[in-house]
Chains A and B, each alone.
Chain A
Amino acid sequence: SQTIHQWPATLVQPVGSPLSLECTVEGTSNPNLYWYRQAAGRGLQLLFYSVGIGQISSEVPQNLSASRPQDRQFILSSKKLLLSDSGFYLCAWSRQGGTTEAFFGQGTRLTVV
């Protein structure tokens, strides 16, 4: 069976510090991978998606970046966090084709102070 792991679960970081969130998928190959952010009381905002190694599409311009160094690894990074980066970050995967559902990791709750 397929599983998705995302860590850490919670994170408190000072403004201006770097960020690295990691997500890995097991039990499948060549998945589509996604990073979403959910601000408090708001809907999910797609940040990045990837259809293959090294292929990253950015949906929202901001101070975040994403990388996919391996087939089942997706990393969200920032060089300098802003207060507005606080939120619930969710990694997800789906099968290629865009017709089947997405599966989410447990999320990282980031608070920038």
Chain B
Amino acid sequence: RKEVEQDPGPFNVPEGATVAFNCTYSNSASQSFFWYRQDCRKEPKLLMSVYSSGNEDGRFTAQLNRASQYISLLIRDSKLSDSATYLCVVTYGQNFVFGPGTRLSVLP
């Protein structure tokens, strides 16, 4: 079983749509949780941290359920510029473990 699993994707959605990504992790000792965004042939960049109480940053909302070892990312009112691969990341000790990513294409 992989340590971090994500929806396989790709997700193709029209502009303005709401899209949700799911992620599960296997190690209950995970400490911190993040969503990263990676554009084609670029380095990953932090989108947002994920807190147990849930957190929102503009059109993006992240949720964490420690009991179920589940993380989600909701994107509202999708923009063309949201097209990218979204990576779920958990930390174990000093290590960052990345999920395989879910590709999103927002279509005009």
- A and B pair up: yes
Residues of chain A having any CB pair with chain B under 8 Å: 32, 34, 36, 42-44, 46, 49, 51, 59, 88, 90, 92, 94, 96, 98-107, 109
B46 at interface, CB cutoff 8 A: yes
In B24-80, the 8 Å CB interface with A consists of 31-32, 34, 41-46, 49
User: What are the residues of chain B within 8 A of A99 when measuring CB–CB?
Assistant: 31-32, 91
Interchain CB contact under 8 A, A44 and B93: no
How far, in whole Å, are A92 and B60 apart by their CA atoms in the complex? Answer: 24
Residues of chain B having any CB pair with chain A under 8 Å: 31-32, 34, 41-46, 49, 87, 89, 91-101
Q: Out of A42, A90, A96, which one reaches B43, CB within 8 Å? A: A90
User: What are the residues of chain B within 8 A of A106 when measuring CB–CB?
Assistant: 42-43
A39 to chain B, nearest CB (A): 11
How far, in whole Å, are A58 and B5 apart by their CA atoms in the complex? Answer: 23
User: What are the residues of chain A within 8 A of B93 when measuring CB–CB?
Assistant: 98
**Minimum CB distance partner of B97 in chain A:** A46
Interchain CB contact under 8 A, B49 and A101: yes
How far, in whole Å, are A43 and B98 apart by their CA atoms in the complex? Answer: 7
Interchain CB contact under 8 A, A105 and B43: yes
Interchain CB contact under 8 A, B32 and A100: yes
Interchain CB contact under 8 A, B99 and A98: no
* From B32, B96, B97, B101, residue with most partner A Cβ within 10 Å: B96
Interchain CB contact under 8 A, A98 and B94: yes
A21 to chain B, nearest CB (A): 14
User: What are the residues of chain B within 8 A of A94 when measuring CB–CB?
Assistant: 94, 96
Interchain CB contact under 8 A, B100 and A42: yes
Q: Out of A36, A96, A98, A103, which one reaches B91, CB within 8 Å? A: A98
Contact A49-B44, Cβ < 8 Å, known A44-B87, A98-B31, A99-B31: no
A57 to chain B, nearest CB (A): 8
* From B45, B93, B95, B97, residue with most partner A Cβ within 10 Å: B95
A42 to chain B, nearest CB (A): 7
Interchain CB contact under 8 A, A49 and B101: no
